[in-house]
Amino acid sequence: MKYALYTGCAAKGACPELYQSTMHVTKRLGIEVVEMLNASCCGAGVITEADPDLALAINARTFAQAEALGLNIMTICGTCQGVMGMANHRLKTEEGLLDRINLMLAPEGVKYNGRVEVKHLLWIIVGEIGVEALQRHVTRPLENLRIAPFYGCYILRPSKYLGFDDPENPVSLEKVISALSAHPVDYEGKTKCCGFPLVLEKELIAIGMVGANLKEAKDEGADALVTPCPLCHMNLDIYQERAGKKIGEKLALPIFHLPQLIGLAMGFTPKELGLPHHLVSTENVVEKIQLKV
């Protein structure tokens, strides 16, 4: 199994731990990856706000690069997946759109023919590798842990462009959590928004969302959260202390990137998985699975 790895900006910037853990986990799972070093940002839905055609064009360029490699794209960010999945769907299905966007790529000799698929690591694990195969790689079962899934928005909605999980009743993160022998925690917030897009300009709203979702997960007995989106990770981890202060609660809920949680169950050390990069300490969880930092 071979994929063109589209890391997105966060894994190369504020979330180096996502990149580190992805490399360890994909290797262990036997997924060969070719990193797309020339690829640009997907636009994160922000460039679309300014100019939808421009956002389509920079993504078409990325798709053309994977097409030239003869590979499909693996994303490791829920936001990238949503934005690129929607762009790809539109380019493939809307009449005349691909030709019009290709005109913008033509001066650089780039052309996208609409033959690439974009899939999140979570979908590849659940849909292609299979949770049974994942289970076979577990050397350190996370038996004592109650893990709350946090999907984030763009990996679920708008579902007509994505279509992996049922947006009303998603199960893929729960399947992974169970395969690692941990217990998935059910709570309403799992499909809600983390608030990240607002955090610079409307911090009170954004941390209100962080606080509400984390408190709910904690009240349901969660030891930690896992998310397939590094932007959710940033908001839930970096702003957790402020969110807790706002609602008068000590939250102290470690937030894991998807490959970090899988990596823990595969026996990688906290350092290999970049856990020391987190603002909210992961020590409690690491102790619970009896592992020295």
Partner 1 sequence: MRVTLHIQKFNPETDSKPHEEPYRLDIGRGTTVLEALMRLKNETDGTLTFRYACRSAICGSCAMEINGTEKLACMTQIRPELERHGEVRVGPLKNLPVIKDLVVGMQPFWEKVRSIRPWLDPLPHEQVDPIAMRNAYKAFNNVEACIMCGACVAACTVYEVSKGFAGPAALAKAWRFAADPREAAVAERLEGLQGDGGIWDCTRCNYCVEVCPKDVKPMEAIILLRRASIQSGLTQTMGSRHITSFVDIIRHEGRLNEGLMPMKVIGFRIKDFLRILPLGIKMFLKGKVPFPFKLKPAIPGIKQVRAIFEARSQEKRKKG
Give the nearer residue to partner 1 in terms of CB position, either 64 or 145.
64
Residue among 37, 25, 34 nearest 2 (CA): 34
Q: Would you call 109 exposed, middle or buried from its count of C-beta atoms within 10 A (0-12, 13-18, 19+)?
A: exposed
Which CB atom, from 32 or from 188, has the smaller least distance to partner 1? 188
Nearer to partner 1, 44 or 251 (CB): 44
Q: How far is the CB of 31 from partner 1 (least distance, A)?
A: 23
User: Residue 32: exposed, middle, or buried by beta-carbon count in 10 A (0-12, 13-18, 19+)?
Assistant: exposed
Q: Residue 52 CB, nearest distance to partner 1 (Å)? A: 9
CB atoms within 10 A of CB 89: 16
* Distance in angstroms (rounded) separating the CA atoms of residues 31 and 119: 13
Tell the smallest beta-carbon distance from residue 192 to partner 1 (Å).
Answer: 5
Residues that bind partner 1 (CB under 8 A): 9-10, 12-16, 37-41, 43-51, 53-54, 57-58, 61, 103-105, 107-108, 110, 153-154, 157-159, 166-169, 188, 192-193, 195-198, 200-206, 208-209, 212, 238-239, 242, 276-279
CB nearer partner 1, residue 49 or residue 128: 49
Cα 159 from Cα 276, distance rounded (Å):
35
Tell me the closest approach of the beta carbon of residue 6 to partner 1, in angstroms: 11
Distance CA 66, CA 72 (A): 6
Q: Give min distance, CB of 290 to partner 1, in A.
A: 25
- Name every residue whose Cβ is closer than 8 Å to that of residue 50 and which is 6 or more positions away in sequence: none
Nearer to partner 1, 6 or 265 (CB): 6
Radius of gyration of the chain (CA): 19
Least separation in angstroms between residue 202's CB and partner 1 is 6
3 state DSSP class of 130: coil
Task: Output 50 or 96, the one with its CB closest to partner 1.
Answer: 50
